[in-house]
Amino acid sequence: MSNYTSQMVSRINAEAPLNLTKAKALADEFGNVTYRSVISKAQSIGVEYVKLSPVKREAKADTPTKAEYLAAIRKGLALPTREGDLTKAELATQFIINNPQESWEIFSGTAKELQNELNKRAWADTLPRFALRPAAFDAGRYQRFQAFLIESGLLSEVMPIEKIAIDVTAK
C-alpha cells in the first residue's frame, strides 16, 4: 500500500527535476512522508533526482589534525625511533589511549590556544576513534566486504585481495 495519492505523485512530477530542497519542501507539504521517501518515490516513477554539489567546508586553522596530535605526543614522550611510520603511530596511539590525562597535558602544552574546555572535551571524545593497530591487515575482512559489493551489484567479479588492499607490513 502506497503512502502516495495521485495528487502527491502529480506534485512530484511537477517539481521535476527533483533535488534535496524540493524533496524536503514536498515532504513538509505532504505531511505524512519523509524527504527520503519523496526522493525514493520520485526515482521509482522516473522523475530525475539531481544531487546538489556538496558544500565545501573551510579547513579549521585552529583544529589540529590526528597527525599533529601524534607528533606532539611523540615529541613530548621522546618515543624511540622505530622502523615504519605506522609503527610510530601505533606506539603513540597506544600511549594516548593508555594515558589519556598525561597525553592531553602533553598535547595541550604545545599551543596555548588548545588549553580550553572545548578542546579538552574534544580530546576525550576523540580517543575512542584512534585505530589501535593502524597497520593491521585482515584479508578476511576485505573478502567479506568484496562479497557484499558483489552481492549489492557494485562489483561484477571477484578480484585478488592484492588488487583491492595493500598489506603495508609485507616486505
Spatial CB neighbours of 65, under 8 Å, sequence gap ≥ 6: none
Helices 35-44 and 6-14: angle between axes, nearest 10 degrees: 80
As a whole-number percent, the residues of the chain with pLDDT over 70 amount to 87
Q: How far apart are the first and last CA of the chain?
A: 59
What is the per-residue pLDDT across 28-48, written as a single tens digit (0 to 9) for each? 999 989 998 999 999 999 999
Helices 100-108 and 66-77: angle between axes, nearest 10 degrees: 100
